[in-house]
Amino acid sequence: MLSAALVLGVVALALAWPLPVLLAGARWPARSPGIALALWQAIALAGGFSMIGSLLCYGLIPFGADVRDGVLGLGEALWAGTPAPTTTFAHVLALCGALLLGTHLVLNLASTFVRAEGERRRHHHLINLLSDPLPDRPGMRVIDYAAPVAYCLPGAIRSATVLSNGLLRLLDGDQLRGVIAHEQAHLRQQHHLVLLAFKSWRSALPWFPIANRAEHAVALLVEMLADDHARRVIDDRTLATAIALVGLGQQPEAGSPESAVPAWAAHVPEQPLVAQRVHRLMTPAAPLSSLESWAALTSAIVLVISPAVVLVLA
């Protein structure tokens, strides 16, 4: 199993630095953000499984010739209370590392989702108190706030799209339709779940530099996906103008105190990389070809299943 441990270690190392750096610096994701998002998710899943699998394979070497025999041998050794004769401190450390890392990632993911759901419930309650329904627009709420604000508020039972009076005054009818379509795309495509998964990855491994880069890249990609949905409603120039107006309108005035921001505003997601989104809309590029798309999706699938294949063949 030493060879399997080495292979998984090399895969984990590649997914921890060079491949994510190349993907983050590539220009093609803006052409096909959905495919790029699938690749980022594959990198995250395969990277985590490879790290755990590498430690597990190395730790099980004294207990069997393959993973199955190693797990059974480890169970027998634990039951008998006597380790295998060839067990070293490095093997024990690897097994403990695999157990601790796997448990840490799962528990951190679960706690992130639980905290987020609690915050969303409190936010829903606050919005119901401070906002009014938008006439003839079910599921939309209007808050009395001068700055242009638009965001979606997902929920297990109910969801809402929140707009500010400042936004309604700033945008014309077509621009407003585009912004609403953008926010509703976030809700329909469940982007908050993807963002929470990468937020959990970053909080679980704060010392892991690529986790922070991945979170920012994914945040931009989901915005681009929502922009692509809004492009079906209005033209690119109108949507780009709306994005720029909202982004500039949310910039704080010089010398304005932070206390002037209402309490609910802490929950409003920042406008990520507005300039890149506007540039993409104003200089549209053709999406990836069918061959390029299939190649990227195949790569994502291979990345996800490769750790399991190596473990089965170990």
CA distance 229 to 227: 5
- Alpha-helical (H) ranges within 60-172 are 67-80, 89-130, 165-170
What's the confidence (pLDDT) of residue 200?
94
CA distance 189 to 56: 36
CA distance 304 to 252: 43
Contacts by 238-244 with C-beta closer than 8 Å and gap 24+? 238/174, 238/175, 238/178, 239/175, 239/178, 239/182, 239/281, 240/277, 240/278, 240/281, 240/282, 241/175, 242/171, 242/175, 242/176, 242/178, 242/179, 243/271, 243/274, 243/277, 243/278, 243/281, 244/274, 244/278
What's the confidence (pLDDT) of residue 137?
84
Q: pTM for the complete prediction?
A: 0.91
User: Which residue positions in the chain have pLDDT lower than 50?
Assistant: 254-261, 263, 266
Q: Are 64 and 73 in contact (CB under 8 A)?
A: yes
Nearest to 288 by CA among 30, 62, 4: 30
Secondary-structure breakdown of the chain: helix, strand, coil percentages, each rounded to the nearest 5 = 70, 5, 25
pLDDT tens digit string along 117-166? Answer: 999 999 999 999 999 998 888 889 999 999 999 999 998 778 999 999 99
Q: Which two tokens stand for residue 190?
A: 């469940």
The distance from CA 180 to its chain's CA centroid, rounded to whole angstroms, is 22
Tell the residue number behind the tokens 């292979």, with chain if given: 7
Nearest to 153 by CA among 178, 179, 116: 116
What's the confidence (pLDDT) of residue 269?
52
Q: Are 193 and 218 in contact (CB under 8 A)?
A: no
Domain residue spans of the chain: 1-87+288-314, 120-283
What's the confidence (pLDDT) of residue 79?
92
DSSP state of 150: E
Tell the residue number behind the tokens 């991945």, with chain if given: 214
Contacts of 17 (CB under 8 A, 6+ apart): 210
DSSP state of 142: E
What pairing do the DSSP bridges indicate for beta strands 160-164 and 150-153?
Answer: antiparallel
State the burial class of residue 36 (Cβ atoms within 10 Å of its Cβ: 0-12, 13-18, 19+). buried
